[in-house]
Amino acid sequence: MFQRNLIDKTTYHQKYFRPSCLPALNLRFKTSAFFQPYYEKKHDQIHLPIEWTKTPEDTVLNYFSILREAENMAGRSCGTVGHARIPFPLAYNFLSEEYQRKLSYEAFFHSFAGVGHTSLIKLCRVPDIKHGIRFFYEIETIEGFEGKRAEYFGYYYGYIQLVHEKEGYRISDMSKIEEDFLCAPYHGWSHDADSAVEVKYGNWCKLIQKRYPTVTNGYVKNIYFRGTDGADYCLIFFTLTNGTDVEIAQFRKVGNERWKQINIKPEEDCLKETGN
**pLDDT given at position 2:** 35
- Co-location of 225 and 123 in the same domain: no
- Co-location of 248 and 141 in the same domain: no
Lowest mean pLDDT among 11-20, 35-44, 57-66: 11-20
Give 232-267 pLDDT, tens digit per residue.
999 999 999 999 999 999 999 999 999 999 999 999
Lowest mean pLDDT among 136-140, 186-190, 262-266: 186-190
Query: Which of 144, 178, 212 is the last residue in one of the domains?
Result: 178
What's the CATH number where 99 sits?
3.10.450
Nearest to 50 by CA among 174, 132, 173, 164: 164
For a pLDDT cut of 90, what percent of the chain falls above it? Answer: 69
Amino acid residing at 17: F
- Co-location of 162 and 47 in the same domain: yes
Rounded-to-integer distance, Cα 203 and Cα 196, Å: 10
CB atoms within 10 A of CB 65: 22
**pLDDT given at position 149:** 74
Q: Please report whether residue 15 resides in a domain.
A: no
Instruction: State the sign of the Cα–Cα–Cα–Cα dihedral 88, 89, 93, 99.
Output: positive
- Residue 158 pLDDT exceeds 50: yes
Rounded-to-integer distance, Cα 11 and Cα 47, Å: 51
**pLDDT given at position 78:** 66
- Residue 1 pLDDT exceeds 50: no
The DSSP annotation for 149-178 comes to SS-EEEEEEEEEEEEEETTEEEEEEE--EE
Give 66-89 pLDDT, tens digit per residue.
999 999 987 665 667 788 899 999
- Residue 5 pLDDT exceeds 60: no
For a pLDDT cut of 70, what percent of the chain falls above it? Answer: 89
Rounded-to-integer distance, Cα 157 and Cα 184, Å: 16
- Co-location of 104 and 32 in the same domain: yes
* pLDDT band, residue 17 (cuts 50/70/90): low
Beta bridge partners of 221: 216, 237
Q: Give me the mean pLDDT over the 183-197 stretch.
A: 87
Query: Which of 178, 206, 223 is the last residue in one of the domains?
Result: 178
pTM of the predicted protein model: 0.89
Structural domain of residue 71, as residue ranges? 20-178
The DSSP annotation for 182-195 comes to SHHHHSGGGGSHHH
Give 97-133 pLDDT, tens digit per residue.
999 999 999 999 999 998 999 999 999 999 999 999 9
Nearest to 172 by CA among 96, 225, 61, 110: 96
**pLDDT given at position 132:** 96
- Co-location of 170 and 110 in the same domain: yes
The count of domains in the chain is 2
- Residue 91 pLDDT exceeds 90: yes
* pLDDT band, residue 276 (cuts 50/70/90): low
- Residue 9 pLDDT exceeds 60: no
**pLDDT given at position 53:** 97
